[in-house]
Amino acid sequence: MSAEAPSRAAQRLFRWYQRRHPALDAERVWARLDLESPAPGELTLEARLVADLAPHRAALAAAMLLIFGLGVSLVWGLGPRLVAALSARGGFAAATGWALVPFFAGFVVHGLFILVVHEATHHNILQNRFDRSLGNIALGLLFLPFLAERYQHTHRVHHRWVNTAHDNNWTAFRDKLSQRARVLYVVYELIPILNNVDRLAERVPVRRLQAALAWGVALCAALLFRPPVTYWLLVLFWLNFVNANRLWVEHFGHYRGALANTYSAPLSFGIGHHALHHRDPRVPALVLMVGLWFRRKDLSLRHGLYRLLRRRDWAHFRTQQPDFAPSTAEASAGPARPPETRAAARGRDSTGGA
């Protein structure tokens, strides 16, 4: 499930950083004890990173936006051209192009979404009111303008009420479908856009100008890149596939008393450091990414779908809370989470992640 120690490159990097902060204990950081059972006065690795990087906030924001711009050009500029070049060869090359390029592009779009849209939702880029516009512009450039304003609101609600009755991450419809027909639930989660039907009743405050901004940017991007509709649909499918698997590892398990898991995922800019992210949403993505290099992981992204289909006790943490409906909770609640990680569950974000 998890490596026994950080990679050699990560160990060397940690020793270099340890020269600046001699109080850091590599073993405690790896075991996440500085997060879950801190000694009196002990600062976490991530708190030290945030303090050290604070003077360079503008440079980091510029780097994030540069990475985002390069990623957008890669996905919508180079990607379709590569598919077209492979399709021109016909046969196996064409099939490989349509199968692999959108698959890889879906992972890239997911990473770009985390880096800018998700971070702007938590005001972690510009750290002012313009983050709202920045997030919606990014949604337009990723050809996801239909999420403008809705995603930001829904995500903040999830943070405020994570694993409670008000958590829109796990609706009553999803719970019933998962319990009665798990394969059908998996199919539902894997259908982009339609898998949000159960959330349509949620009232979402939308600023029309912000939504129009996202759609306007998407239109300009479409005129610039002109990606084939089939290519966009395939990228959207794989993006949603990554998101679904994230859900199945972030807030799923077979143990009680957990807030979220810590896991590894490619091109995810630290979103796998999920327990800490819920405890403090203002920790920037790049800090979460670096911190995760030195942390023990509970899972990896590849475990999501496999465990959901193979283990009946692999359920959303909402179903394992004391206030959950007894008939369902009895069927899904597993053993208590090991003591070394139970403390993380008590760090529920009470600020709403704004």
Lowest mean pLDDT among 42-46, 117-121, 125-129, 310-314: 310-314
pLDDT of residue 325: 64
CA angle at 75 for the pair 93 and 122, rounded to the nearest 5°: 145
pLDDT value at position 145?
97
| Closest among 195, 193, 172 to 184, alpha carbons compared | 195
Residue 229, domain member (yes or no): yes
**Mean pLDDT of the region 277-283:** 95
The CA distance from 239 to 308, in Å, is 19
Arithmetic mean of pLDDT, 253-282: 90
DSSP letter string over 262-328?
BEE-TT-TTTTBHHHHHH-TTS-HHHHHHHHHTS--SEETTHHHHHHHH-TT-EEGGGGSTTS-HHH
* 233 part of a folded domain: yes
| pLDDT at residue 339 tops 70 | no
Phi-psi bin for 193: left (phi > 0), alpha (psi -120 to 50), beta?
Answer: left
**Domain-located, residue 334:** no
The CA–CA distances, whole Å, from 268 to 45, 145, 231, 274, 289 equal 19, 21, 22, 11, 8
Tokens standing for residue 217: 């940017």
- pLDDT for position 177: 94
pLDDT for res 285: 96
Domain count, the chain: 1
CA angle, residues 345, 249, 268, in degrees to nearest 5? 100
**pTM of the predicted structure, to 2 decimals:** 0.89
Does the pLDDT value for residue 348 go beyond 90?
Answer: no
* pLDDT, mean over the chain: 89
Q: What is the mean pLDDT of residues 315-341?
A: 59
**pLDDT band of 342, cuts 50, 70, 90:** very low
Q: Residue 332's pLDDT band (boundaries 50, 70, 90)?
A: very low
Please check the confidence at residue 333 and state whether its pLDDT lies above 50: no
Residue 351 has pLDDT above 90, yes or no: no
Residue that wins the pLDDT comparison between 74 and 258: 74
Q: Does a structural domain hold residue 314?
A: no
Q: What pairs with residue 256 in β-bridges?
A: 336
- pLDDT 10s digits, 22-51: 999 999 999 999 999 999 999 999 999 999
Q: Which domain holds residue 125?
A: 8-156+184-253+262-308
Whether 278 maps to a domain, the answer reads yes
CA nearest to 192, candidates 106, 261, 116: 106
Q: pLDDT by residue (tens digit) across 9-19?
A: 999 999 999 99
pLDDT above 70: percentage of residues in the chain: 90
Whole-angstrom Cα distance, residue 187 to residue 195? Answer: 9
Q: Is residue 335 part of a domain?
A: no
Q: Is a pLDDT exceeding 60 seen at residue 289? A: yes
* Residue 329 reports pLDDT greater than 90: no
Confidence label for 144 from pLDDT (cuts 50, 70 and 90): very high
Q: What is the mean pLDDT of residues 228-235?
A: 98
Q: Helical H runs in the chain?
A: 8-18, 26-30, 33-36, 45-53, 57-72, 79-89, 91-112, 119-121, 130-141, 150-160, 172-180, 182-189, 208-225, 229-250, 274-279, 285-293, 303-310, 326-332, 339-345
> Does residue 114 lie in a domain region?
yes
Annotate 146-174 with three-state secondary structure: HHCCHHHHHHHHHHHCCCCCCCCCCCHHH
Residue 178 resides in a domain: no
Rounded distance between C-alpha atoms, residue 158 and residue 280, angstroms: 14
